[in-house]
Amino acid sequence: MKSNKILSVREQIADVLRSDIISGELEPNTKLNEQQLAERFGTSRGPIRDVLIKLTKEGLLVSKDNVGSSVSSPLTPELQKLSIDIRRKIEEHAVKQLENNISEADLARMDGIIDRMQEHFDKEEFTDLTKTDIEFHKYFVGLAGGEDLTNLWYPVVLRMRMNYQRIRNSQTLVDEHRHIVDALRKNDLKLAISSIRKNIK
């Protein structure tokens, strides 16, 4: 059964802006004008402001009182490294929680997400590929640790994915995800962790 989740207006707007930022369509330091965004999405400024606050807390935007919000600059190499460390820690934790504790339905679901990744890669839809990549990891992180773990994880990933170039170079990316699911399916914890470590860099 397909879920077709209903999304609130604000969540849809947030999704679009997240894509725009992660894809680089909105470059760092771009100023976001509330009125313009309201017109673009056909709402008033209220919901737009809500979204801007959310994205600011996710690290994608920087806000200054009475001045406005603009797209964040990429992390320094040091902070990028630290973020990778933290992300690994979180996802390794997730994998441990899932050992001997994951259903075939969930594994199938993850297979499905990887299939979509493959499609996007084949069609060279790199922004969608990135989004699906994030969706994959978000899925099993949420499975392992629920909303609390997801909230811990999400900002770290979003921030380090800004201006991320790795993807367009490699089919390897998709394969890496197959390896992760394979390892989970075999309940091979060591293999799962090493697969995660390889994938996150």
Partner DNA sequence: TAATTGTACATTGTTAACAATTAATTGCAA
Partner DNA sequence: TTGCAATTAATTGTTAACAATGTACAATTA
Q: Which of 2, 3, 4, 65 binds DNA (CB under 7 A)?
A: 65
Least Cα distance to 72 among 16, 10, 155 occurs for 155
Nearer to its own copies, 73 or 171 (CB): 73
8 A C-beta contact, residue 62 and residue 69: yes
Nearer to DNA, 67 or 105 (CB): 67
8 A C-beta contact, residue 69 and residue 61: yes
Q: Which of 57, 123, 168, 197 binds its own copies (CB under 8 A)?
A: 57
- Which contiguous run of DSSP H or E holds residue 99? none
Cβ–Cβ contacts within 10 Å for residue 158, how many?
A: 18
In the numeric block, which tokens belong to residue 42? 């056909």
**Residue 44 binding its own copies, by CB under 8 A:** no
**Residue 49 binding DNA, by CB under 7 A:** yes
Strands of the chain (E only): list them.
31-32, 61-64, 68-71
Rounded to an integer, what is the distance from CA 120 to the centroid of its chain?
16
Cβ–Cβ contacts within 10 Å for residue 174, how many?
A: 20
Give the x-and-dash track for 132-171 against its own copies (CB under 8 A).
-------------x-xxx-xx--xx--x------------
Size of the site for its own copies (CB under 8 A): 33
Q: Cβ of residue 197: shortest distance to DNA, in angstroms?
A: 39
Give the x-and-dash track for 77-96 against its own copies (CB under 8 A).
-xx--xx-xx--xx--x---
In the numeric block, which tokens belong to residue 148? 């609390």
Strands of 73-150 (E only): list them.
none
Question: Which positions touch its own copies (CB under 8 A)?
Answer: 8, 46, 49-50, 53-54, 57-59, 62, 65, 72, 75-76, 78-79, 82-83, 85-86, 89-90, 93, 97, 145, 147-149, 151-152, 155-156, 159
Residues that bind DNA (CB under 7 A): 8-10, 31-35, 42-47, 49-50, 63, 65-69
